[in-house]
Amino acid sequence: MPRPQAVSLPNASPDIPPAGVEFRAMARAPRVLVFDSGVGGLSVLAALRARAPGCDFIFACDNAAFPYGTKAETELVERVDKVLHQLVRREQPDILVVACNTASTVALPRLRARIPNPVVGVVPAIKPAAALSATKVIGLLGTPGTVSRPYTRQLIADFAADCEVICLGSSRLVEIAELALRGTAPDIDELRAILTPLFTNPALDTLVLACTHFPLLAEALATAAPRPVHWVDSGDAIARRVLALLSGPADGPDRGFRALFTGAAGSDILHPALAVRGCTEVAILP
């Protein structure tokens, strides 16, 4: 299968090797593929690079099928299975991270049954949020699909049975995060309106960001919130899990990452934001 056409990006950090450096020169470094339908997986990738900077990271974005949060479960499982099998054959990763709550809550069993490599998923951080909350009133902010799925309800029953959990699904927040990485600053008033239903209970003291897009808006969300709360996401927990599964050296200088997109439309607008975050090369899959 031919390699996709690639575009090298200017380096944003002196710690990242020039884009022309061959990755195979560091072939012993574990290869970690981070997958999402949009740019939300970049929040998980940042946590991974903080704990395992020496890995060979690939960020794969299925933007041709974005968004996942509004798709039916059957359609979503088929799409994720198809794209990830193509990516695994092409890139030969040592570990695969499904950095999407929506995909993880429905597709992980099938992926783990069909892909021999370790597959790490992202699930809402309900357990740590319940442990952190002093008032036992927590909010769950995700996509409509994530907050309504039986998997999420079971997590609440298993780990937050002693809590009141206020759930809110928002597809618009995903759009806002995507636009933010393309240069459009979030409207704080709009964010405040989206968050309002979560804060109707004055006892709420902890809020779970149950979509990997949402940590990209963490600062803006904290500004829009009517009062300080604990914001909890899964990024660091996923990074610790991946680190435990690695069989090769994960330390060393940060080598940045490569980015792959399933569609060309709009991907070029992301180049500046990707470069700032350490991306050395962008390619569109055929």
Contacts of 129 (CB under 8 A, 6+ apart): 138, 160, 206, 207, 208, 230, 232
Residue 13 DSSP symbol: -
Q: Which two tokens stand for residue 8?
A: 């090298």
Residue 179 CB coordination number (10 Å): 14
Tell me the one-letter amino acid at 62. D
Catalytic residue among 55, 163, 211, 279: 211
- Look at the chain and count its residues: 286
State yes or no: is 211 an active-site residue: yes
State yes or no: is 167 an active-site residue: no
Catalytic residue among 55, 100, 163, 279: 100
Label each residue of 20-70 as H, E or C: CCCHHHHCCCCEEEEEECCCCHHHHHHHHHHHCCCCEEEEEECHHHCCCCC
Question: How far apart are alpha carbons 194 and 181 in whole angstroms?
Answer: 19
Residues marked as catalytic:
100, 211
